[in-house]
Structure 1
Amino acid sequence: MKNLNIIGQSMIGAAMLILAASCQKEDILTEKLDANNNLAVTATVTGREFTLVPDANGRLLIDNTAGTYKPGDIINLKGNFKAVQVVNVSGSASAPITIRNLAGNAVKIGDPAWNGGAYSVGCVFWNSHYIRFGGQSGQSQIVISGSTQGAKEAYYDLQIGNKSDNIEVSNLTIENGGNGIVAKTDPVTGDATTQYPNTTMNNLLIHDLVIKGTANEAMYIGHTATYWDLTANAPYYGATAGMATSHQYVQPIMWKNVKIYNNKVMNIGKDGIQTAAIDHLEVYNNEVTNWAMEKNSAHNGGILIGGRTINTNTHDNYVHDGWGELCQFYGSGGSGVTHIIHNNLFRNGSGDGVSMRGYANAIVQFTNNTIAYTMGNSLRINGSTGQTGVQIVNGNAFIRPHNAVAPIYDKYYIYTEQNAQVQEGTGTLVNKKFPTWLSAQVNAANYYLPLAGSPMGTAGYRKLN
């Protein structure tokens, strides 16, 4: 056993969050490295396990520029940390580097007292790859607790940035702060590797987390800007014909292969699980409740399948009791592209239940979902941005739209506008439509499962396990 003193390494400095006013929401993080903070970290290594503790200021930098940590190593965290910064740390596909709590020791990360200035991120992965991060047992062994102060919206609890990929985050709790998880890379002038399609970030797993009490989104996965104006350093969402001729525009990097599953998300200021710019996205077996607490109609999706997403599968989720819409879809179509929304329970929302406004003739297979107790329509499809192909809507249960205020017209169950089209199933694939809970004869206390004799039949959601 020996002590390693790692002194004078680069630290990640202040992160400035700018909240854009556009309804196409975009959080812009100015990501910056500040050198020579002269912080000390002591590591004790036995074999290929390292135990790292906070420095005198409660911070930890893990900068692997010198190659201290090798594929397959385990880094154990011990103590309470105001910030943990993981820089240039890479395992391999066959031997990732694991960062976890030391067995028998609960770890806290973050600064609830932060109210502006440097260290506005609790835990950050920067130019790091093939990492597993999470607690050894349960979700209480690592807790990331963000700012509770007036400036909390500018605080990131967990950031995955600067092209970091092949990351697995699991078995921890994230609370308070601004954004729970932010996983994206902003384009940088003069660095073509920060632009699509020159680079793709691969493989992100987020599972078995509790995220609660964030002021902004619980998860902000993928870059929401359609284009990035490098000249103005700002997002651009308009048509290419409207671009300023004197400005340089690029597209942000996309993720490929993202899975978000087995998470509990609750008491969130804005969107619950927000995604964008992903090829092959699977969102499943999550529970999202009480989102959009700030009641902002531009940030009100329980689960949001955002722009520049292709090949998505949203299934077996339970989304309920929130101010906004239960699920929103903005994905894109294309040759061979598929989108599936299947076997989800969406109930008790203050707007439309599920809304779609996709691009490039996106086609969604919307099957065996239950949408119940909405203040607006059960399902609303708007073709104004290009989702004008025939949507497949089969075997769903639509219960009590428009707050059951009579008369309930058929269009309240599936509302189409701006040239949107729907093909409804027949026979065993028919959609069942009920103006009231009583007419559906379902057990509202048991995931809206049909009672004996219910006319719902095989339509709608069925809870797995």
Structure 2
Amino acid sequence: MKNIVPLLILLSIFSACGSDENVDVTRYELLPKTGVLASCTDMLAINKSAGFAFDDNSCQYSPKACADCDYIVELDMQVIDNNDLKLPPGSVIGIRAGKRKSLIFRNFHGTTDKPYIITNCDGQVDVADNVPGIKLHTLSHIRLTGTGSTDDYGIKVSEGSPFGIVAELAATNFEIDHVEITNIGGPAISARTRPVCDGSTNRGTFTQKNTVVHHNYIHDVDGEGFYIGGSHWHSNFPPIADCPDLVLLEPQLEGVKVYNNVVENVGQDGIQVGGAVLGCEIYNNVVINYGLKNIQVHQSGIQINPGTTGSIFSNLIKGGTGSAIFINGFANKVFSNIIIDCARDGVHIGDREPPAGKSYMIVNNTMYNVGEYAIYMNSKLSINNIFNNNLLVNITGGLHNKLSDEISLNVDNNLELMDIREADLENPDQYNFSPTDNSSLIDAGIGVDDPNILADFMLNSRKVGQSIDIGAVEYQRN
């Protein structure tokens, strides 16, 4: 299988997506990162390594023959219900290669040690329909993976509405990877369960755990690339017709991992995560040409909805109509990201009823060509926030817009330049933002007191010299 991880070769193409006009878009052909903290950590890969903090895109897989699967989903099948099949946990379910209509998988409940594996077999699967391409309903401990062939993405959803893939109705502990999704009337992947009148999926009764999406290629869709969790963590869920007077709260999420995905040409937000109160990481993704419908508050590269905490790091975000990273969560750490050609703010932070006493850390990012502010800070309920060690080049609105004296924001040790050449980087025109031997960024950062901020953009160690550097990429000494 071809290796694909965020970086570096750009090919120009022309396409229409998410708007009424043709737009000049970019297609990244991505090369593996070489960071010492990352390797192949996938249990299904034939080259799995141990002892690494992050998973990269170097994994290799053996093609899966349908004859080797425990059950085969034939081309004329659509509803796969384990209440009928009675397949035991750990079973491998093969989707036979070819063009097919939509699929529904439901009532599969594996275990941590024996998840159900749903994979393509005997080649690539192509799902096209006028309904959601693949539905994952009422299941747990399953993996939907396109690693069953030599294709980069062995499962493709080439048409669907309003979702490409949807995981809902108390779906939890699931993984979606190596899937290509395009030509969708709404979000490419929706992974959220709504509360219902009987309370069975209300907050406190149901928690969506371990939502893991990685190594997917999302492009040319009308809605979001990823819509994970809800948008109403801070308030009651909108009334439901069958129980209009009942107070319903969206379930919370724990253990959200979004990594090594390519998202390009999307009508709304590139990656959106809400209600993820514990264990959320969004890293090593590429998001290009986001918010193409130019809908207010639905046009960010990465959108952090209320209730979401965790880390956003080592992502490349380029060319959108809104802010690169829009945050209404709490206690988020944003570091080692590269933001390019952003129409609005590099990082925009607001309040949606966060817990008291939480802080934001926005450190060691590189922002280049930003239409408004590097950071727009409108969170009065957070404390001890920092914006340090960022490389800021050609920021139209300036360093920051702190909207009130009540807002706590320490702005220190950021380097502001008008010309990218002044930073002495290897080759920013080809997306290589590594400092050269003579760069003033080297060892120029101030200390960041957080052991979880450990990786630079390339997934190398954050500190390798006397001090950390300024910007997203740490200079690597031979």
**Smaller-chain TM-score bracket:** 0.7 to 0.9
Residue in 2 aligned with 1:379?
375
What is the match of residue 428 of structure 2? 444
Residue of 174, 178, 184 corresponding to 2:192: 184
Paired with 1:230 and 1:204, the residues of 2 have a C-alpha distance of 26
Mapping 1:48-197, distance limit 5 Å:
49-55=70-76, 59-78=77-96, 79-102=98-121, 104-111=122-129, 114=130, 120-135=131-146, 136-137=148-149, 138-147=151-160, 154-177=161-184, 178-189=186-197, 191-197=198-204
Aligned-residue sequence identity (percent) comes to 24
Contact 1:180 1:219 in 2 (8 A): yes
- Partner of residue 286, structure 2: 287
CA distance in 1, matches of 2:224, 2:323: 14
- RCO higher in structure (CA 8 A, sep ≥6): 2
Aligned match for 2:415, one of 432, 435, 447? 432
d(CA) in 2 for partners of 1:248, 1:464: 56
Determine the structure 2 residue equivalent to 1:205. Answer: 212
**Secondary structure of 1:66 counterpart:** helix
Partner of 1:370: 366
Separation in 2, partners of 1:133, 1:261: 16
More strand by percentage: 1
**Are 1:392 and 2:400 matched, yes or no?**
no
Which moved further from structure 2: 134-143 or 193-202? 134-143
Per-residue deviation, 1:401: 0.8
- Secondary structure of the residue aligned to 1:65 is helix
Q: How many Å apart are 1:339 and its aligned residue?
A: 2.2
| Residue aligning to 1:150 | none
Read off the aligned partner of 1:365 and give its amino acid letter: M
Match of 1:27 in 2: none
1:293 deviates by: 0.8
Match of 1:301 in 2: 300
Q: 8 Å contact 2:168–2:191 — kept in the other structure?
A: yes
Q: How many residues align?
A: 373
Q: Counterpart in 2 of 1:17?
A: none
Which amino acid in structure 2 is aligned with residue 461 of structure 1? A
Counterparts in 2 of 1:287 and 1:47: CA distance versus 1, 3 Å: closer
In structure 1, the partner of 2:41 is none
Residue matched to 2:453: none
* Residue in structure 2 matched with residue 32 of structure 1 by the alignment: none
- TM-score between both structures, scaled by the size of structure 1: 0.75
RMSD, matched Cα: 2.3
Q: Deviations over 1:311-340 (max 9, x none)?
A: x111111111222211111113xxxxx421
User: 8 Å contact 2:376–2:401 — kept in the other structure?
Assistant: yes
Aligned pair in 2 of structure 1 residues 331, 233: CA closer, same or farther (>3 Å)?
A: farther
Superposed CA deviations along residues 248-306 of structure 1, whole A, max 9, x for unmatched, are: 22211111101000000001000000010112210000000001111112211101111
The counterpart of 1:417, out of the listed 389, 403, 409, is 403
**C-alpha distance in structure 1 between counterparts of 2:194 and 2:410, whole Å:** 39
Specify the code of the residue in structure 1 equivalent to 2:192: K
Bigger Cα Rg:
1
Q: Which amino acid aligns with 1:85?
A: I
Distance in 2 (CA, whole Å) between partners of 1:388 and 1:94 is: 40
Which stretches of structure 1, 4 residues or longer, exceed 4 Å deviation after superposition?
Answer: 44-48, 231-234
Once the two structures are TM-superposed, the CA of residue 73 in structure 1 deviates from its matched residue by 0.6
**Quick one: distance in 2 between partners of 1:363 and 1:180?**
32
Structure 1 stretches lacking a partner, 5+ long: 1-43, 115-119, 148-153, 235-245, 333-337, 404-411
Instruction: Pick closer, same or farther for the CA change 1:452–1:173 going to 2, 3 Å.
Output: same
Aligned with 1:448: secondary structure?
A: strand
TM-score when scaled to structure 2? 0.74
Give the match's secondary structure for 2:153. Answer: coil
CA shift at 1:371, angstroms? 1.3
